[in-house]
Amino acid sequence: MQAPRAPLDEDARLAVLDSLNILDTDAEEVFDRITRLASRLLGTPMSALSLIDRDRQWFKSRVGLDATETPRDWAFCSHAIHGQHEFVVHDAHADPRFHDNPLVTGAPYIRFYAGVPVTSSSGLALGSLCVLDTEPRELTDEDRAMLRDLAALVNRELHLRETLHHARHSSRTTRAALARTEARFRGVFEQAAVGMAVVALDGRWLQVNQTLADIVGYPASQLLEMTFQDITVPEDLETDLALAARVCKGEQSTYSLEKRYMHAEGHVVWVNLSVSAALDDQGRPTHFIAVIEDIQARKAAELALQALRQTLEDKVAERTRALHARESQMRAVLEHANDAYICIDEHGVICEWNRKAEQLFGWRRDEALGLRIDETIVPHELRSAHRGSLARTSLGAPDSGRVNRRVELTALTRDGRTLPVEVSLGAVPCDGRTLYCAFLHDISERKAMLRTLEEQALRDPLTGLPNRRELISEMPKAMARADRSEHHMAVIFLDLDGFKQINDTLGHEVGDRVLCTFANRLQSSVRETDTVARLAGDEFVVLFEGLYTPVIDEELITLLDERLSAPLEIDGHDIPVSASIGVQIYSPGSTSSVEELLDRADKAMYEVKHAARDALRKLAA
């Protein structure tokens, strides 16, 4: 077993992991939902959110695994955290790093593993979201993308917790700072890394620090003779003044906005402005306290200052909004997925239908919802079987042959067309019933490409004639036709004479053109029902069917030889050609094999080639 090395940033990684206070905590639905979804979508019996501690891997969430932790040296995830992309082990038994791993040789008997690193907001790998199987398997590009998307949801949750930790820490620091003396506050005011100012209600600068002067490029003494209106970009001034007026009226205590100042040198400076009002004993505003950040240089400080102004209730509300946002994000992922997504209940009624389903099948979402699936995309001839499957499901016997597997089916569009689709179907318990969620991918192009590749595999790329593979496939069919019709068939074997000399003297390009021209001439010299094939090099075969006697007309062979022996005109040159022809007759009921027929025709051709040019040898079948 090959133990993984520790990452170069191990100390920083462990520090962030400890700060999250997530190790050895109870299960949480936000993570369990993701691991369950990973197992369902990728069709694996096991999945986990694994965090790599100092000497162990600990599972924050797990599906199909009994153990809550394992030694770090055993962990597949300890390898996964070294990369930025998915780490895949197709067959652990065949991988020298894992074949003797205790998790492979013993429970849970891992054979397949795929994991995507989960990281902190600074990119430190904390663990991985992984799926596992007890059988070897391959991972498609769609599977990889899906696993990365689910890992991104885990990252979002971890980043939110990391931000909350930093916010709490900063809040404690700020409360301590507010308790300091006025002299201490003044020192902070002057030395602050952000611009700070005391502003009169009419916009005059009353106090400014040096950082603000540096941001806008004016000396502090000159700023004190100006108003904030003087240096605000006119397009941003109306919004700023309106918000300031609301604070003065007591409608709100603070405001924040992004705005632009005109630098003393004439260019624009983008800042984030945060303003609060100082109140007198009667609660009336006396002046503004302004904090000005250079957004381009201090984005991180901006986020920290905004977080300091949030109350505990705001944080709870923000967390609630974040949960809703994650749910919306999941809906957005499904809505904008590259595959059609359809969800039905156990009665076959459609309860979800995404945009890709609209495009693929022609039914709008508002039209499809509430219809039965067999009324929309199930072909007519398959609807009875589909209803039977749903009936068995309602009795507690789900169609396990298709659930949690990828299968190819035929679907029906609204305009009556059928198209092949690849379906991934998962069963999801929901409020005491079962929903069936399916991703459907149009594989029409894939099927067409396979048909094209199959056709190309049976054709000679130079001449376009059937190649040896196609000839070997067609000959048994021709022999069977001869047996049924009780007609004979001639296997005519041709070989160009002196073709090597053409290649050697005129070049292979001319030789290829000679072969193509000869092939066209040969094709036009026989009947349309005869099969002409190129075996290899300058060897051709003709299957001449429908002979009434086991003897081929020698005049036909002579005529064929004459047509093929006429000089070929290539680039204005007449190139003499001739062919040696051998014939083998197949008679109905013969026990000769395809290989024997070709071999005998080949031998007959060679007898001709080594004897007179117009000689002909025929071997009885």
* Dist. CA 570–CA 514, nearest whole Å: 8
For the chain, state the CA radius of gyration.
40
Q: How far apart are the first and last CA of the chain?
A: 63
Tokens encoding 83: 């990369």
Tokens encoding 400: 């396990």
Tell me which amino acid residue 137 is: R
List, in sequence order, every residue forming a beta bridge with 440; answer none if it has no partner.
340, 423
Residue 540: other Cβ atoms inside 10 A: 27
Give which of 415, 282, 301, 293 is closest to 359, Cα–Cα. Answer: 415
Q: What are phi and psi of 82, to 5 degrees?
A: -80, -15
Dihedral over alpha carbons 560, 563, 569, 574 (to 10 degrees): 100
Give the DSSP H or E segment for 199.
Answer: strand 195-199
> Which sign does the torsion angle of CA 358, 361, 364, 369 carry?
negative
Beta strand 579-586 with 618-619: parallel, antiparallel or unpaired? parallel
Dihedral over alpha carbons 336, 340, 341, 345 (to 10 degrees): 150
Tokens encoding 247: 């604070």
| Cβ–Cβ under 8 Å, residues 487 and 545 | yes
Give which of 552, 541, 557, 521 is closest to 474, Cα–Cα. Answer: 541
In the block, tokens 């700020």 appear at 174
Give the DSSP H or E segment for 353.
Answer: strand 350-353
* Dist. CA 41–CA 256, nearest whole Å: 43
> Does residue 399 have an active-site annotation?
no
Give which of 248, 275, 278 is closest to 259, Cα–Cα. Answer: 275
Tokens encoding 383: 């609807």
Dihedral over alpha carbons 544, 547, 553, 556 (to 10 degrees): -40
Give which of 278, 383, 390 is closest to 345, Cα–Cα. Answer: 390
| Cβ–Cβ under 8 Å, residues 466 and 460 | yes
* Dist. CA 283–CA 281, nearest whole Å: 5
Tell me which amino acid residue 349 is: V
In the block, tokens 């891992």 appear at 110
DSSP strands (E only) in 372-432: 406-412, 418-430
Catalytic position from the list 374, 538, 561, 602: 538
Half-sphere exposure of 149 (CA within 13 A, CB side): 19
Q: What's the farthest any 2 CA atoms get from each other in the chain?
A: 127
CA distances (Å), 190 to each of 185, 187, 209, 607, in order? 9, 5, 5, 108
Is residue 528 helix, strand or coil? coil
| Cβ–Cβ under 8 Å, residues 425 and 403 | yes
Residues annotated as catalytic are: 538
